[in-house]
Structure 1
Amino acid sequence: MNKKQARLFAIGSTALAALAFLGLTIDSHRQFGKLTNADRITADVSRGQDVWHENNCINCHTLFGEGAYYAPDLTKITKLRGEAYLTAYMKDPSKFYDENKHRRLMPKQNISEPDIKALISFLDWVSNVDTQGWPPRPILVTGASFPGTAGGGGGGAPPGARPVSGAEDPIALGESLFRSAQPACVACHSVAPGVNMAGPSLAGVSARAEQLLASGSYKGAAKDVAGYIRESIMQPSAHVVPGPMYSTNGTSFMPATYGTSLTPVQIDQLVAYLSSLK
């Protein structure tokens, strides 16, 4: 290739690259409204964005992979934590931490209740933006796991669980649901003894349920262990575990949506798995 050919090749390839870049840019802008659910940007969402900036949340947290990477990426936080939990957390984060154990604490921002509600609306809008897999490896909240990913903070065979084998084993299928339901149970619960996250550890939940049913302090309607676990999934506020980390005013922070998001067969499988945690 002589100098003239090399020059023409450079000019041509640059022009083609520029055209491809321009085309992709135009196509991206064409899809932004749909990808970002622009029609769902309400006054609350806009106010929540202002609250996010006014409190310098990005100095510690990240959205869409952009931020300080000092604290968890919050792009999908409302897929992992419910509104009741997030509201109580933002009112007083210290209730969710042991300063001597965790050291790195979120400061109390003294955000008003309307602004907390707006901020959650903003984060919920963010969580529904189609990021097409970005960021590829966000810093997640403790134990978080998204459907289709490897297990999170509840990994490994739980102590006391019956060995499972075969794709049709209800316990094996229930364990898979524990990691892949929306939101994933493993995002809030560990199956390791003593590892309490947003929800209490479920290690030995079957034995504890049996003791609770016999204690006289149980307030729900279940008659046996399987019924108690089913009730905890379908109606988490029927009997709440004491403590500010898990409930407020008698209402559990656990989402009450599994009765509609999971089929009866899936509920049976999840109950079978949790019942195996002796």
Structure 2
Amino acid sequence: MNKRQARLFAIGSTVVAAVAFLALTIDSHRQFPALTNAQNITPAVTHGKNVWHKNNCINCHTLFGEGAYYAPDLTKIAQQRGAPYLQAYLRDPSKFYDEQRHRRLMPKQDMTDAEIADLVAFLDWVSKVDNQGWPPRPILVTGAGVAITGTRSADQAAAVSRSAPPPGPESLPSDKDPMALGEIVFRTVSPACTACHSLVPGANMAGPSLAGVATRAQQIVSSPEYKGKAKDVEGYLSESITSPSAHLVPGAMYSANGVSFMPATFGKDLTPDQVAHLSAYLASFK
């Protein structure tokens, strides 16, 4: 290549790169309104953003992977926890975790109910922004675990790494294995069960640990205090998935004003077969 050819190549490649950059910029701006959920920015969302900055939440938390890494990323927290849980948690975090035992150092911000409601509205808006999977990591929570197939014990559950990837299509079980199918539902449903529940004994998160849940379910169904309609363990587990407020487990950590913090959407989002498979899977944790 002589000097003239090199010059023409440099000029041509610069023009091509500039055109590509301009086209991508225009396309990005064209998609911003839909991707950013801009049509749902309300005065409450705007005020909630101001509350977020006023309380320096970003000094500990991250949104879209930006911020401090001292505390969990909150990009999808509204979908994973739900508004009732977040409102109760923000009123008094100490009711949910023991700082000495869990090392939860979330301070009580003494926000008003209006500020809390608007902050939750802001986090809900953030959770619905199409961030195309970024950041590519789950929320960090104490004791998170991933389920395993086969006969399960507390020791086995505790030994499983929380970072195990979901099974690929080639490893999907047949429809004759409801427990294995239930495990896949447990690991892939949205919001993920592992966002709120651990399989490690004693590692209570937003929801109670599911280690030994079948044994507890039998005790609850047999108790005169039980207020639901289930007759057996799997029926109770199915009821807990589809109608979480049918029977409330005592304790401020899991409910408020007679409503469970467990999302009430799984009854619509899951098919009856998926609920049955998930119940069969959970019933194996005795």
Instruction: Tell me, in whole angstroms, the C-alpha distance in 1 between the residues paired with 2:61 and 2:20.
Output: 34
Partner-residue secondary structure (3-state), 2:130: coil
Deviations 1:220-267 (A, max 9, x none): 222222221122112212222222211123321111111111111211
| Matching residue of 1:141 | 140
Deviation at 1:133, TM superposition (A): 2.2
Would you say 1:234 and 2:242 are equivalent positions? yes
Q: Mapping of 1:1-278 within 5 angstroms?
A: 1-137=1-137, 140-142=139-141, 153-157=145-149, 158-159=152-153, 166-168=173-175, 169-278=177-286
Letter in 2 for 1:236: P
- State how far apart, in whole Å, the 1-side matches of 2:235 and 2:139 are: 32
For 2:17 and 2:267, locate their aligned partners in 1 and report how far apart those are by CA, in whole Å: 51
Distance 1:275 1:20, change over 3 A: same
Shift of residue 203, structure 1, vs aligned partner: 1.3
TM-score in terms of structure 2 length: 0.86
CA RMSD of aligned residues (A): 2.1
CA change 1:22–1:143 in 2 (3 A) is: farther
Cα 1:105–1:173 shift into 2, 3 Å: same
Mean Cα deviation higher: 101-110 or 63-72: 101-110
In structure 2, C-alpha distance between the alignment counterparts of 1:214 and 1:59, rounded to whole Å: 48
Query: Gaps spanning 5+ residues in structure 2: where?
Result: 157-171
SS at match of 2:86: helix
Partner SS, residue 217 of structure 1? coil
Are the counterparts in 2 of residues 190 and 201 from structure 1 also a CA contact under 8 Å?
yes
User: Which string of whole-angstrom CA distances, capped at 9 and with x for unpartnered residues, describes residues 24-81 of structure 1?
Assistant: 1111001101111211111211111111111111111111111112211111111211
2 CA distance for matches of 1:187 and 1:253?
Answer: 13
- Contact between 2:142 and 2:203, CA under 8 Å: does it hold in 1? no
Structure 1: gaps spanning 5 or more residues:
145-151
The one-letter code matched in structure 1 to 2:261 is: F
Aligned length: 267
Secondary structure in 2 aligned to 1:189? coil
The corresponding residue for 1:148 is none
Task: Tell me, yes or no, if the aligned pair for 1:153 and 1:187 is still in contact at 8 Å.
Answer: no
The question of whether the paired residues in 1 share the 8 Å contact of 2:139 and 2:195 is answered with no
Matched-pair contact (CA < 8 Å) for 1:80–1:183: yes
Q: Given residue 213 of structure 1, which amino acid in structure 2 is its aligned partner?
A: V
Q: Give SS of 1:220's match.
A: coil
Identical columns (%): 64
The amino acid across from 1:166 in the alignment is P
The amino acid across from 1:140 in the alignment is I
